[in-house]
Amino acid sequence: MRIAIIGFGSVGRGVAEVIVAKNLGIRVTAVADSKSGAIDPSGLDIAAVLKNKKETGICGSPDITVSDIISSDAYDVLIEVSPTNAETAEPALGYIRKALTAGKHVVTSNKGPVALRYDELHTLATEHNVQFRYEATVCGAIPLMHTIESGIAGNTISRLYGVFNGTCNYILTRMAEEGLTYQQALLEARELGYAEADPTYDVKGIDAAIKLVILANVVWGIKKTLADVDIVGIDGVTSAAIALAEQEDQTIRLIGEIDPANEILRVSPTILPKSHPLVVRGTLNAVTIETDLAGEITLIGKGAGSSETASAIISDLLFIRDCHGRRD
């Protein structure tokens, strides 16, 4: 199976490293970052590309663009792992459209296109008889989409709720366990690389809300957008509030919840008993699926990170190869 990786940041490099390290039968024939690209239909020397990226900051030649790669016939699956743009989903949306239309499978970790255009992209993939997969967009390494699609196939899902943002979970864990103030815990998260220099997207609950929008669209086919989610972030939570919850063996976590029958689509700091399965520590994510046959299923795992996100992407890739035929 031949793949083209678009986006060569920590996720793209993570995928490339796994392919170098493991003999999975996957050949990387093209890569591109924001400034350069490389194509070799017989397979790129990925170790050399990674080394080049590390030394020069670019992965290939400035003369080769993403468009050149996407319109080429050098790949079977497009791995779209460029940064998320929550407003327009571009340029990733255009890349994905083009690849699907050309009859190529697409695997992405990019939340923008799935949150904003799931319906269109899903239809496009069906029309061209290819797969469009996005396991890495929600809860990182947790196989949530695979679980819903295959593991509990046949169940009716009534409600989904959980911890969808590792940065917020880290901050709230530290406030609860060490009595840190919000500002102190945020500073610590930044120093450890868990929070961006501008943490707005995480701490205001926007990242968690985008994941809910994806799930609402994918699981229930409800055409919701970010504007439909009731969002309250964690930036107003005080350590005193957490201490008050602790008096009754409870704590506070940022919980995202979809309950279509009760018209609930919200992200908000929520009180939970400390013994609740969703009270996970550090940057972990956790999600509970309420079903009619299987009852409640709770999945816990790492929500971000280079190899964790690569895990989700590789599993999508191998799913395509094993369930939809080798195309090389």
Partner 1 sequence: MKLEMKDSPGQLVSVLTPIRDIGGNILSVIHERDPGAGKDILDIQIMCDIPEGTLEPLISGFRTRGINVLRVGEERFLVRRSVILIGHLIHTDISDTIGRIDSTGYAEVHELSMVMPAINEPSSAKMTIKSDSLKDINRALAILRDVARAKGFLIIEPLEGN
Distance CA 31, CA 162 (A): 35
The span of 44-52, 191-199, 231-239, 320-328 binding partner 1 (CB under 8 A) equals: 231-239
Tokens standing for residue 321: 């190869």
When the beta carbons of 10 and 158 are compared against partner 1, the nearer one is 158
Q: Which of 71, 243, 322, 328 binds partner 1 (CB under 8 A)?
A: 243
Q: What is the dihedral of CA 205, 206, 212, 213, to 10 degrees?
A: 160
241 sits near partner 1 (criterion: CB under 8 A): yes
Closest-CA residue to 111 (of 52, 165, 30, 174):
165
The span of 73-81, 138-146, 167-175, 263-271 binding partner 1 (CB under 8 A) equals: 263-271
- How does DSSP classify residue 268? E
204 sits near partner 1 (criterion: CB under 8 A): no
- H or E segment to which residue 213 belongs: helix 206-220
Q: What is the dihedral of CA 322, 136, 304, 59, to 10 degrees?
A: 80
- Has 211 been annotated as catalytic? yes
Closest-CA residue to 156 (of 267, 312, 261):
261
268 sits near partner 1 (criterion: CB under 8 A): yes
Q: Which of 231, 245, 297, 318 binds partner 1 (CB under 8 A)?
A: 245
269 sits near partner 1 (criterion: CB under 8 A): yes
Q: How many residues bind to partner 1 according to rule CB under 8 A?
A: 25
Q: What angle do CA 250, 253, 259 make, to 5 degrees?
A: 105
When the beta carbons of 215 and 237 are compared against partner 1, the nearer one is 237
Distance CA 230, CA 158 (A): 19
230 sits near partner 1 (criterion: CB under 8 A): no
Q: Which of 272, 294, 297, 300 binds partner 1 (CB under 8 A)?
A: 272
240 sits near partner 1 (criterion: CB under 8 A): yes
Catalytic residue among 211, 223, 274, 302: 211
Q: How many of the other CB atoms lie within 10 Å of CB of 294?
A: 14
Q: Which of 115, 252, 314, 317 binds partner 1 (CB under 8 A)?
A: 252
274 sits near partner 1 (criterion: CB under 8 A): no
142-181 residues in contact with partner 1 (CB under 8 A) are 158-159, 161
Side-chain half-sphere exposure of 259, counting CA atoms within 13 A: 12
Binding residues (CB under 8 A) for partner 1: these are 158-159, 161, 232, 236-238, 240-241, 243-245, 247-248, 250, 252, 255, 268-272, 276, 278, 290
Report, as residue numbers or ranges, the catalytic residues.
211
